[in-house]
Every structure is written in C-alpha cells, then in structure tokens.
Amino acid sequence: MNQKVLVISGVSWDSTHQRHHKVVEFLDRNGYQVDFISNVKSSSVFSLSKIMSKISNKFFNQRSSSTNTKPSDKFLEIKSFNLPYKTIINKLFLLIVKKKLRFADYDIVIYYIPCQFTHLLLNSVSTKRVIYDCVRNFSGWDNITKSVVKYERLLLQQVDRVLVDSYYLKDKLSVVHSDVHQILPSVYTQCFHSKVTGRLNKFAFFGTVSNHFDESVLGVLSKCNVELFIWGVDELGLSDKYDFIKFKGYIDNECQLLTEIHQTCDAIIIPYKGSMDGVIPAKLMQSLSTGLPVFVSSFYDSRYLNDFLYVYSNQQDLEDSILNFSIKEHIMVAKRSKSFSLENSADKFNENLKKSLLL
C-alpha cells in the first residue's frame, strides 16, 4: 500500500501522547505515508494562560511535553506557524509549508483545527477524502478566536466525514452533518481488579494541573482527611502550597502510571472547572480501567457516563460522596466500569479507525 495522508494538527509530535498520535500510528502501521503538519493554532498566540503556563513550567521545573518515537520513515512532521484569525499573512505561511510537503495530492486529509490556514491548505492540495477529527467544542472554549468558529462552519460543508470523541460533540455535530462517527478514547492497559476495602484515604490526580483544575475541591479533601497524589505536570504548584498534596512526577508509560496509581491510592479525582462541554478526557477512560472509584466534576460527558463515575455538582456533593462511600455499591460500579473499559480497548479503537478512515 502506498497511499498518502495529510494530517493538520494543533499539537506537535512531541506533545503529550494523545488521539492525534494514535491516529497517525494506526495509519503508519497500515502502510500509509503521513505528512503531519503540527502546531496549527486556534487560540491567541500570546494569551495570558499560555504565558503563565510557560512561566510556571520554568519556575516549578515541570515537564510539559514528551518525546514520542517517530512511527517510521514513512512519517514526516512539518512544523508550522499560523495566526488563528483571518489574515493575508497566513498565505505566506502556507507557501512555506507547501514547499515542505512531499506530495501535491493525498488520498485522505485529516484536520483537527478549522482555521483559515487549514482552509487555504485544503484548497491548495488534491485529495479524495476530507475528514474532520473534532476533539474540541471550539465555540465554547476559552481564548478561541471567532474566526475559527466561522471557519468550522465553512469547512464542515466540504468534509466527507466527521469523527468525534465526546458525546457532546456527537450530539452537536450530528445536527449539521449527516456522517458523524464517535470513537471514544481507548485504554491500552488491562483492567485492574477493584481493591477498595475501606475508607478512602488517598486520592490520585494525573495529567496537567492547569487553570481548568478546580482548586476549590482541595478544601473538601483536606476536611475529609484525604491525601492527594499528583502525577504529571503541576503548573499551579499545588504540592508546594499544601502539606497533604504529594507530587509524584511525570510518567510517560500508561501501564506504569496506572499501576502506580492503583498501588498507591484508593480513588481518583478529576476536578475540572470552566467550559468542559465537548471534552471527554482520555484520563477518564484510563481511570475507569483501574477499578478505583472515580470522582469527577459534572459536565456533559461525565453526566453521560454517570453509571461508571461518582459525579458531583458542588463541594458539598463531593464531601457527601466521599464520606458516604459504599464498598458494596462500588463493587457493582467497578463491574460496569470494567466492562465499559474492555469495550473501548486499543483493539476496539483501531477497529473503529479502520471502519472510519480506510473504508
């Protein structure tokens, strides 16, 4: 097979391993040559949150990215730059990128960022199929430029198929496009057995502690005499502010990470704030595979998965859920979680990609 795919991504190849990487790795295994255009921007280049994140990472010496193995010599990353709003400058950036493309025609174009730069690029190459893999609710996300929202509506008119991960995005985009496929985040590790036998004393959070982390829940955890262990990137420096928080560092390997969480903690908490509609965190699926109780703030997708999670709507609700935790009830929750995790394994993810991309 000597087919060619162009992927237009908002993240670089060395960003935290996520859906973009899994799609490219799948294509590479199936013999496709992939040109991967990275760092296409949808939000303000100099937003306050981005500046604060960079400063925080520098001062707290946190690791915010990883080094991912290149799939094969069939893969090429082309680092790009664009402005997220409509401007003639993007045409100049397009000329620079086009010189680096290996091909003038592609069998498939997959894009993640619906901005002017993507629109210009789509109109400058030949392709048989265009697929929009939508993993963000752009119209409701912080710092997204209005131009991106307008181009999303425009580009949907020339898309053959839309892929989504979130239930919210599936429901939203199914109204405006006739061919929407949902592929949930996958779990690469085997499911663990539930080990909870008594009171919940140690909670885990993994990933990036950023401005979407609801710091107000820490008062509840402290009141309930709970220790919080953080794996990942602590941009807010929580482990320096609170004695009951322990920072465990950054672990790339998913199996190693979840094993350590399972051995150390009694429960997992995912406390998000702000606009979360259109988001189904990969850590949600990973957490369910551990068999531990997963406490998560209320948003569209967490409510959709309420049978597997302990969804709380406010601080009092979270406190009551922790203090009134029932082992007997959790045995049933863990069984449902295990079944759901197995239904969304890496094999299932690849099977869904095959149906959605290659047929």
Q: Out of 72-81, 247-256, 264-273, 294-303, which region has the weakest mean confidence (pLDDT)?
A: 247-256
Report yes or no: 231 and 260 within 8 Å, Cβ to Cβ: yes
Structure confidence at residue 1 (pLDDT): 56
Measured from the Cβ of residue 242, the count of other Cβ atoms closer than 10 Å reads: 15
- The rounded distance, in Å, linking the Cα atoms of 153 and 161 is 14
Return the CATH class of domain 202-343: alpha beta
Structure confidence at residue 52 (pLDDT): 45
Q: What is the mean pLDDT of the chain?
A: 90
Structure confidence at residue 143 (pLDDT): 84
Per-residue pLDDT, averaged over 179-207, amounts to 85
Per-residue pLDDT, averaged over 80-101, amounts to 95
Per CATH, 4-186+346-358 and 202-343 having the same topology is answered yes
Give residues with Cβ within 8 angstroms of 191, minimum separation 6. 289, 290, 291, 338, 341, 342
Per domain, the residue ranges of the chain are 4-186+346-358, 202-343
pTM of the model: 0.88
Structure confidence at residue 190 (pLDDT): 66
For residue 160, give the nearest of 143, 180, 190 by alpha carbon. 180
Please tell us whether the domain made up of 4-186+346-358 is placed in CATH 3.40.47.10: no
Task: Tell me: pLDDT of 51 over 90.
Answer: no
Measured from the Cβ of residue 223, the count of other Cβ atoms closer than 10 Å reads: 12
Pairing of strands 4-8, 33-38: parallel
Residue ranges in the chain assigned as alpha helix (H): 19-29, 48-60, 89-100, 116-122, 146-155, 167-173, 217-223, 238-241, 254-264, 282-288, 300-304, 315-323, 327-343, 346-353
Structure confidence at residue 245 (pLDDT): 97
Name the residue with higher pLDDT: 39 or 346: 39
Structure confidence at residue 191 (pLDDT): 65
